[in-house]
Chain A
Amino acid sequence: MCLAIPMRIEAVDGFNARCAAKGVERDVSLFLLQDEGVAVGDYVMVHVGYAIQRVARADAEASWALFDEILATEPPPDGGGG
């Protein structure tokens, strides 16, 4: 739940945006960035469905690489053996 991920804005409709990261698309609220004038093509840090800050593209891509590693090592929910 705490994990925030950077996403690219693909489409904007009012405060609602369609965002993508690594082929996954999500609806994201831009309500917390309403003073920032973010637009299609910008990258934003997304936490629980809300964009909380802008990010530069290079930084977004670096975080995706880390995210890949986490997903690769993470056991499925309820997993972890025992």
Chain B
Amino acid sequence: MRRVTAGATWLARIRALDLPERLRIMNVCGGHERSIAQAGLRTVLPEEIELIPGPGCPVCVCPEEAIYHAIHLSLDEGVILVAFGDMLRVPVNVAKGEVRSLEEARGLGGDVRPIASPTEARVIAAAEPERTVVFFAAGFETTTAPVAALVAEGLPKNLLLLTACRRTWPAVALLLESGEAGFDGLVAPGHVATVMGPEEWSFVAERFCIPVAVAGFTPESLLAAFASVVRQHLDGHPHLTNCYPEVVRPGGNRAAQQMLAATFDVVDAPWRGIGTLPASGYRLKGRYADHDAALRFPAATEQARARAGAMPAGCGCAEVVLGRLTPTACALYGHPCTPRAPVGPCMVSDEGACRIWWSSGKRG
């Protein structure tokens, strides 16, 4: 009840503000988009405020070549391929008749197993000591830190990593630097900030003069962040605020950051459909070369590299991820693209905007 009241209060405060004609607020987290959609925040906010889902889905931008690589490892190298469940149905572009997802690879006899936690990869590796287990890990910082923890705890000899881990803020920097950011305020991702510290997001205000607030996942935390962004916009003094202080501490989780730094190098990395973004990816450090699936299976790697990194034909996921197209504006949304028969990764992943909009009942 206390919470409901808090949400209503924030809403009343936002309504009382002298709103500009149009204020576009982007979020960059599938969890935020899900809360917004489930709580119906778009319908209760004044129409001047537009909520835009942005780059919040690591599975959606996972390079096609990495998925192709994982498919190949599971079918041709006899490994046990483990991945977060989301990853299994993400389609790659291949000629008709070729295997287009890890799920299809599994149907053809590939030993592909969905996991919910990196710790399960260790359990499977321990149970199958004679076999090579490859953990295909895609995720943003919040997911990459647990992968780093898995490595820091010591990897079993037969457990390798194939990673497509990405940092969130470089995608926002790309949008801001492009000159057409497409948003007037940003809600920064609460659990990324939990791990990396909220300070990572101050550049949005300081370098680009765009209001920014870290938000949690309850409607009232999101509404508090929207109110803060609107206020900053009206005052003309953008500065980072933290509307999720109960979990996001100054400096973040330092132990997690140390593990990330000890495990990965920060490198330029490809984002599917978008291109290579500077300093946006994590690559396993050289000292873990024995556990790097990309190095241990170079033949597969060469084939994987030959794949271009495009989205499926007609799929607007790249534009959806960048906040330049709303899911329902994609010509394929609902016809034929649905969670049951997804055309692009945004309709597959729980964090994909298309999937979230569809699940919350939006029909074109």
Q: How far is the CA of A55 from the CA of B338 in the complex (A)?
A: 36
Q: How many residues of B contact A (CB 8 A)?
A: 55
Nearest CB on B from A8, distance (A):
15
* Cβ-defined partner of A2 (8 Å) among B30, B39, B118, B259: B30
Given contacts A3-B350, A45-B194, A49-B117, contact A80 B145 (CB under 8 A): no
Q: How far is the CA of A63 from the CA of B259 in the complex (A)?
A: 28
Nearest CB on A from B12, distance (A):
20
Q: B247, A35: Cβ atoms under 8 Å? A: no
- B139 within 8 Å of A by Cβ? yes
Q: How far is the CA of A45 from the CA of B253 in the complex (A)?
A: 12
- B120 within 8 Å of A by Cβ? yes
* Cβ-defined partner of B146 (8 Å) among A36, A47, A63, A73: A47
- B34 within 8 Å of A by Cβ? yes
Q: Which residue of A lies closest to B360 (CB)?
A: A73
Q: How far is the CA of A33 from the CA of B256 in the complex (A)?
A: 8
Q: How many residues of A contact B (CB 8 A)?
A: 37
Binary flags per residue of A1-33, CB closer than 8 Å to B gives 1, else 0: 111100000000001000000000001010111
- B317 within 8 Å of A by Cβ? no
Q: B194, A66: Cβ atoms under 8 Å? A: no
Given contacts A2-B350, A35-B255, contact A50 B149 (CB under 8 A): yes
Q: Chain A residues with Cβ under 8 A from B38's Cβ?
A: 69-70, 73
Q: How far is the CA of A47 from the CA of B140 in the complex (A)?
A: 12
Q: A59, B246: Cβ atoms under 8 Å? A: yes
Binary flags per residue of A56-82, CB closer than 8 Å to B gives 1, else 0: 100100110110011001110011111
CB-contacts of A36-54 with B (<8 A): 36, 45, 47-50, 52-53
Q: Which residue of A lies closest to B338 (CB)?
A: A82
- B219 within 8 Å of A by Cβ? yes
Q: Which residues of B are at the interface with A, using a C-beta cutoff of 8 A?
A: 2-3, 29-31, 34-35, 38-39, 56, 59, 84-86, 116-120, 139-140, 142-143, 145-146, 149, 152-153, 191, 194-195, 217-219, 246-249, 253-256, 259, 334, 338-341, 349-351, 355, 358-360
The 25 sampled A-B contact pairs (Cβ below 8 Å) are A1-B86, A2-B143, A27-B119, A29-B119, A29-B146, A32-B146, A32-B256, A35-B255, A47-B191, A48-B84, A48-B116, A50-B146, A52-B142, A53-B194, A53-B248, A55-B246, A59-B246, A63-B217, A63-B218, A66-B217, A66-B218, A66-B219, A70-B35, A80-B355, A82-B338
